[in-house]
Amino acid sequence: MARKPSAGAKRLRGFLSGDPLRVARTVDRTCGIADLEVHKYMAAHVDALVAATRNIALPPDRRATLDHYIERLQRGHATPPRCPCQGYRGDPSQLGGTLRITGRVTHAGWSEMRVTCDACARSFQVTEDVGYHVPQYDWRAL
């Protein structure tokens, strides 16, 4: 029985597709996730990743995320042992400059933030509920 391709192999195929939309989607599904197996796989194939995506026209935010991700892979940071963003679930603006709030939608009494960790490139959707005496934060990895 043929083995199913791993999550890393599937994503690498997305990066190697040559299709800008698919590459952009693969950036979203890969760079910020917490699956270390995927990042190890990408680190092992980083040369192919660079060659296949270097000349792909991507939206500027995806290009920045991908370049940051590749740079981290090349520096051998595929497996951040204990990034500050792991386990921190409070106010994103309070974690000493590691977390960047890249988007915010404010509703009555609560808001949604898109947060990126500069140390490991993970992304999170954070909900802030100010309807309590102390704001409540709910974090979801993207």
Kindly list the residues in this chain that would bind Zn ion in the complex (CB under 5 A). 83, 85, 117, 119-120, 122
Q: Closest CB to Zn ion among 27 and 117?
A: 117
Q: Closest CB to Zn ion among 42 and 56?
A: 42
Q: How far is the CB of 80 from Zn ion (least distance, A)?
A: 6
**96 conformational bin, left if phi > 0, alpha if psi -120 to 50, beta if neither:** left
Q: Closest CB to Zn ion among 16 and 83?
A: 83
Whether the CB-CB separation of 4 and 34 falls below 8 Å is answered with no
Q: How far is the CB of 39 from Zn ion (least distance, A)?
A: 12
Q: How far is the CB of 23 from Zn ion (least distance, A)?
A: 23
Instruction: Please list the alpha-helical segments (H only) found in 17-80.
Output: 20-30, 36-44, 46-53, 60-74
